[in-house]
């Protein structure tokens, strides 16, 4: 069964006719070609598919696209403005936190959600905020350093 929906992604509306069982990750990557959102474990364990829904980080592999209708969705593609990286993205580059890059979009969006709510988090608060995002390169310290560097600007 298909349904017509309108999704607000990165402040742009998309009208889509999709099967009702398509996940938000599938629609982002396959229908809209927004491949910055990664498909990882598909069961909500790794956080690679993290997007912001109404400003809150969610695992888009666990959200049906039809459930996202009427919500504001932000993906990694929506962070940079006028060709300039968002300060969190730039901090990840500057601190060498990108590593393989697979977890970076989810980490960055989880960090954005944290910093939007708490501009001066402690180290433990940063680690808790990104705890739903697994880094397969085991390099969490550089990621925490990058997020901390944004709070000092």
Q: Is the pTM of this model over 0.85?
A: yes
Q: What is the pLDDT of residues 6-37, one digit of tens each?
A: 999 999 999 999 999 999 999 999 999 999 99
- Do residues 79 and 108 make contact, with C-beta atoms less than 8 angstroms apart? yes
**Quick one: which of 132, 138, 104, 107 has its CA closest to 43?**
132
Whether residue 138 is predicted with pLDDT greater than 80 in this model: the reply is no
The DSSP bridge partners found for residue 15 are 6
Q: For residues 84 and 79, give the distance between their C-alpha atoms in angstroms, rounded to a whole number.
A: 9
């Amino acid at each position: 069964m298909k349904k017509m929906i309108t999704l607000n992604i990165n402040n742009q509306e998309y009208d889509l006719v999709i099967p009702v069982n398509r996940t938000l990750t599938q629609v982002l990557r396959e229908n809209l070609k927004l491949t910055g959102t990664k498909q990882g474990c598909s069961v909500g364990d790794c956080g690679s598919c993290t997007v912001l829904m109404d400003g809150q980080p969610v695992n888009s592999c666990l959200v049906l696209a039809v459930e996202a209708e009427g919500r504001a969705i932000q993906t990694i593609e929506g962070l940079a403005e006028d060709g300039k990286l968002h300060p969190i993205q730039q901090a990840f580059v500057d601190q060498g936190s990108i590593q393989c890059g697979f977890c970076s979009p989810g980490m960055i969006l989880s960090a954005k959600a944290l910093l939007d709510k708490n501009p001066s988090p402690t180290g433990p608060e940063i680690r808790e905020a990104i705890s739903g995002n697994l880094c397969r390169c085991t390099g969490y310290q550089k990621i925490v350093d990058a997020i901390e560097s944004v709070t000092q600007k």
